[in-house]
Amino acid sequence: MRSLLILVSGAASISSLSPEGKFAVIAEAQPPHLLGDIEYLQNRPVLHDVHAKGPAALLSVPAGALNGDMESLNFYRLVCRNLMRKLYNTSSAYSRALLYPATNRLAAYLLENAVDGRVHIKGRAVAGILGITPRHLSRLLSSFRVAGILQPCGAKTYELRNIERLKVFAGEME
């Protein structure tokens, strides 16, 4: 049975696989985030896959509950806020992909995703988010290491060594 899902805790990656087998992470979801809302509300096929990034809790709203009988203003506000956030994020991502070099996009990504000064990077997923190849991502990470901006500190994990320089790179996107 089809349903609308609401991510209430945890985090998830939203991804797609092209007919040629090319994988790309489209977005990262944080609560509260509606999953399948656009497809459900327009009665269209599901476009993307969703994978939890560790423990997550989801609320499932069955298809029958959304047949027009629902009179909850708060629910519709949640739907509208979620759709507006998706439109804004999509517009922002397109602008970044078209207007800014990959170095700037990577710097912004590192700053946005660092936890306690460290960031875990899954090559294919991050490359997909940035709109570059995994090989190009590897080259950029290497140049950041050589410049003293990043320091490897574990499997696929980097310590941000020069946050001010990253902010300069990311700031060039504003």
> Which pLDDT score, from 0 to 100, does residue 94 have?
66
Whether residue 152 sits in one domain with residue 105 = yes
The verdict on 153 and 105 lying in the same domain is yes
Terminal-residue alpha carbon distance, the chain: 44
CATH number at residue 55: 2.60.120.10
User: Are 85 and 51 members of one domain?
Assistant: yes
- The percent of residues above 90 in pLDDT, for the chain, comes to 27
Q: In this structure, which amino acid lies at residue 145?
A: R
| Total tally of structural domains belonging to the chain | 2
User: Nearest 5°: phi and psi at 61?
Assistant: -105, 110
59 with 84, same domain: the answer is: yes
Q: What is the residue-wise DSSP string for 42-83?
A: TT-----EEEESSS-EEEEEEGGGGSS----HHHHHHHHHHH
Last residue of a domain, one of 46, 72, 98: 98
CB 12 within 8 A of CB 34: no
**Residue 17: how many other CB atoms lie within 10 Å:** 11
pLDDT digits (tens, 9 = 90+) for 50-107: 889 899 999 888 766 766 555 677 877 888 888 888 887 777 766 666 678 899 989 9
**Which CATH number covers residue 129?**
1.10.10.10
Range of the domain at 59: 3-98
Per-residue pLDDT band for 9 (boundaries 50, 70, 90) equals very high
